[in-house]
Amino acid sequence: MRHLLAAAAFSLVAASAFAADSPAKLRIDLKNSTGASVGAATLSDGPAGVLIHLEVKGLAPGWHGLHFHETGDCSKADFTSAGAHVHAMATKVHGLLNRDLNEAGDLPNLYVAADGTGAIDLYSTFVSLKGTAGRPALIDKDGSALVIHANPDDYMTQPIGGAGARIACGVIAGG
């Protein structure tokens, strides 16, 4: 019995120590143009970027562009209130396959299955939650947004890779 209590006490201490060292996490809800929930994302600050776990439902099947946008405002039905992509420089060049890339908001595409659901885990080394190591902060004075587009991003075309209309948006703020 004493060993069991000691093991339980050790587990509690280890769990609290792990929690103190665990990265900052933020959960955001993604909504469509009518305000209905279409999914959620969990953002975790890592030592060299942000880990994103995203799950969606009720979207059109196929590939969809996915980007961090510069303003935490999803109030307009077309989500243009979220602004342009997050960037670290005044001159903005889009495209993960573009050798001149400097937009920090560029992310890989999201695939949605025939039943309208999709899930992805990805890591962006271009941003951080709070601006660590010189990377743009997703959580700043006006926040930012995670936006899903109607079409896939071709990773080259300016300014948004041909990703088309914004179909879902989630505000990144607080934390």
Q: Residue 135 corresponds to which amino acid?
A: R
**Number of Cβ atoms within 10 Å of the Cβ of 128:** 23
- What lies within 8 Å, CB to CB, of 48 at 6+ separation is 125, 133
At residue 50, φ and ψ (nearest 5 deg) are -125, 130
14 part of a folded domain: no
Q: Is 170 exposed, middle or buried (0-12, 13-18, 19+ CB in 10 A)?
A: buried
Structural domain containing residue 46: 24-172
pLDDT tens-digit profile of 89-115?
Answer: 777 888 898 888 888 999 999 999 999
Mean pLDDT of 49-73: 97
* pTM metric for this prediction: 0.85
137 has which bridge partners?
128
Q: What CATH number should be reported for the domain holding residue 149? A: 2.60.40.200
4 part of a folded domain: no
12 part of a folded domain: no
* Number of domains, the chain: 1
